[in-house]
């Protein structure tokens, strides 16, 4: 499936990761609905993921975008547009390892994790998906990892030290 990327008026970009047809069996037959997993980001350190469900695909995508905007997170980036330290994010059976990378590395990541990294503004990173390769769980594990990454300034403030002492 090809991922669609669109730019909104407010500078936010969004990509549809998956569209699934879900069926509910009821007395009169089957109810068909669609579920859309959408990632939204500004390309400068903010990203969010949302799930939209509706009877028609465009409506499910719209609901997914709205949900993603509600659940935006800030991502701590370093001077190389990479993450500040390595981290493993977990969600369900999926785990994803995010490793910082030097300038010029680019985004080395699989499909679902790549989308989250691109839209969050990360330019240099290496990732490895561990465990489940379910797209929804991989996206949510990536968001979990990015949510927990801390900047050196934040760590220094918590420990009562200077940033130079932390980086040494």
| Tens digit of each residue's pLDDT (9 = 90 or more) over 138-160 | 999 999 999 999 888 888 888 88
Long-range pairs of 70-73 with CB within 8 A, sequence gap ≥ 24: 72/40, 72/46, 72/47, 72/48, 73/46, 73/47, 73/48, 73/143, 73/146, 73/147
Q: What is the mean pLDDT of the chain?
A: 90
Query: 4-73 adopts what CATH topology?
Result: Double Stranded RNA Binding Domain (3.30.160)
Q: How many CB atoms lie within 10 A of CB 20?
A: 13
39-43, 63-67, 77-81, 91-95: which range is least confident on average?
77-81
The domain limits of the chain are: 4-73, 75-150
Architecture of the 75-150 domain: 2-Layer Sandwich (3.30)
Tell me the per-residue pLDDT of 70-126, one tens digit each, with 9 for 90 and over: 999 999 888 888 898 899 999 999 999 999 999 999 999 988 999 999 999 999 999
Number of Cβ within 10 Å of residue 28's Cβ equals 6
Q: Is the pTM of this model over 0.85?
A: yes
Q: Is 135 left (phi over 0), alpha (psi -120 to 50) or beta?
A: alpha
């Amino acid at each position: 499936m090809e991922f669609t990327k669109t730019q909104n008026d407010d500078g936010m970009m969004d990509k549809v990761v998956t569209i699934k047809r879900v069926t509910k069996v009821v007395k009169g037959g089957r109810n068909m609905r669609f579920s859309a997993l959408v990632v939204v980001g500004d390309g400068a350190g903010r990203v969010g993921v949302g799930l939209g469900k509706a009877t028609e695909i465009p409506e499910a995508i719209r609901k997914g975008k709205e949900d993603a905007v509600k659940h935006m997170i800030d991502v701590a980036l370093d001077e190389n547009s990479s993450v500040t330290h390595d981290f493993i994010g977990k969600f369900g059976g999926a785990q994803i390892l995010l490793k910082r990378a030097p300038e010029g590395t680019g985004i080395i990541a699989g499909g679902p994790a790549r989308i989250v990294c691109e839209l969050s503004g990360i330019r240099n990173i290496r990732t490895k998906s561990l465990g489940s390769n379910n797209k929804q769980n991989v996206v949510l594990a990536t968001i979990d990892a990015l949510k927990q990454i801390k900047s050196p300034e934040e760590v220094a403030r918590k420990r009562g030290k200077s940033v130079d002492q932390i980086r040494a």
